[in-house]
């Protein structure tokens, strides 16, 4: 399959911009409806994660955020209200693939959250590798209050982040919780000062991008798959990933740069 170009989109429901040489900033861009996901945003996100899965090209880290005063409040229910069941299921199939692909993405994703992060928005943050948030961030799995349930990995990822009992409480009651609680329970990696979460996420993304991309991808894969199994099987994943790096140019460059006391230049090969 031929490589697909990751284009920059300055406007539209999904804004895609480059930060420096190797970082991508993806902004959910419907601030007038708190970045609720419509068909346009959903399809654009699906196309992006498909391109990254096929060939990350120059992208070594992605920051996901929302425009305006919210991260994302999930699906746009005003639009869904008028959809028939067949259309709703078809659109959800796109979301299912998108969320699974983001969770399995070869490059790390960092969620930068401020304001409401509800339902499918929280699931989007959960499919990222980790989350930074500002103190005004508010989280909730609201689906059970609306005659639905999480359907984009929420019942799987939230328990892995906060534990089974806590996740059951939050999902079954649809109870909102704040950024301090999310941080205390391990859902959020770091609470950032107001107005700084995007720059904090970008700073970490740039640090990741400065590392050898093949090493980052192999380490992420080993962690992700290893945690789904027992310790010794997970260790076999680690060793398989480790041995795959031995013959790479980047490994030789990393060691040479260390010996020569200079910054390495990694090329992803």
| Structure tokens, 254 | 């990393």
pTM (two decimals): 0.93
The mean per-residue pLDDT over the stretch 94-106 comes to 94
pLDDT at position 158 is: 97
pLDDT band at 81 (very low <50, low <70, confident <90, very high): low
The mean per-residue pLDDT over the stretch 72-79 comes to 87
pLDDT at position 253 is: 86
pLDDT band at 244 (very low <50, low <70, confident <90, very high): very high
pLDDT at position 5 is: 64
Could you tell me the domains of the chain? 14-210 (3.90.226.10), 213-260 (1.10.12.10)
* Alpha carbon 258 to its chain's center: 32
Catalytic center residues: 123, 143
pLDDT at position 1 is: 31
The mean per-residue pLDDT over the stretch 236-253 comes to 93
For residues 92-131, one letter each, b for 16 or more C-beta atoms within 10 angstroms of the residue's C-beta and e for the rest, the string is beebeebbebbbebbbbbbbbbbbbbbbbbbbbbbbbbbb
pLDDT at position 4 is: 47
* Whether the predicted pLDDT of 140 surpasses 60: yes
The mean per-residue pLDDT over the stretch 17-28 comes to 96
* Whether the predicted pLDDT of 2 surpasses 60: no
Q: Give pLDDT tens digits for 188-229.
A: 999 999 999 999 999 999 999 999 999 999 999 999 999 999
pLDDT at position 187 is: 98
Q: Are the beta carbons of 96 and 152 closer than 8 angstroms?
A: yes
pLDDT at position 3 is: 42
Q: Of 143, 180, 185, which Cα lies nearest the Cα of 164?
A: 185
The mean per-residue pLDDT over the stretch 125-139 comes to 98
pLDDT at position 8 is: 76
In the chain, % of residues over pLDDT 70: 97
pLDDT band at 80 (very low <50, low <70, confident <90, very high): low
More confident residue, 82 or 96: 96
CA torsion, ordered 143, 187, 44, 145, to nearest 10 deg: 10
Most confident residue range from 144-153, 191-200, 222-231, 242-251: 191-200
């Amino acid at each position: 399959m031929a490589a697909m170009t990751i284009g920059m989109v300055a406007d539209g429901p999904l804004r895609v911009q480059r930060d420096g040489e190797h970082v991508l900033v993806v902004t959910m861009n419907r601030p007038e409806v708190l970045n609720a996901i419509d068909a346009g945003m959903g399809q654009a996100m699906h196309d992006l994660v498909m391109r990254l899965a096929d060939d990350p090209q120059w992208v070594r880290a992605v920051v996901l955020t929302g425009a305006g005063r919210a991260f994302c409040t999930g699906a746009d229910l005003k639009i869904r209200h008028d959809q028939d069941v067949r259309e709703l299921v078809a659109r959800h199939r796109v979301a299912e693939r998108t969320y699974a692909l983001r969770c399995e993405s070869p490059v790390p994703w960092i969620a930068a959250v401020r304001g409401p992060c509800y339902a499918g928005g929280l699931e989007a943050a959960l499919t990222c590798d980790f989350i930074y948030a500002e103190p005004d961030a508010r989280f909730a799995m609201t689906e059970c209050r609306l005659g639905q349930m999480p359907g984009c990995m929420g019942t799987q990822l939230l328990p892995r982040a906060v534990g089974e009992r806590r996740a059951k409480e939050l999902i079954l009651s649809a109870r909102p919780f704040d950024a301090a609680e999310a941080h205390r329970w391990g859902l959020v990696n770091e609470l950032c000062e107001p107005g700084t979460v995007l720059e904090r996420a970008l700073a970490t993304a740039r640090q990741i991008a400065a590392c050898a991309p093949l090493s980052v991808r192999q380490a992420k894969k080993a962690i992700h798959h290893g945690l789904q199994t027992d310790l010794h099987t997970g260790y076999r994943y680690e060793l398989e990933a480790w041995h795959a790096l031995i013959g790479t140019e980047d490994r030789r460059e990393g060691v040479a740069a260390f010996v020569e006391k200079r910054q390495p230049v990694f090329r992803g090969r």
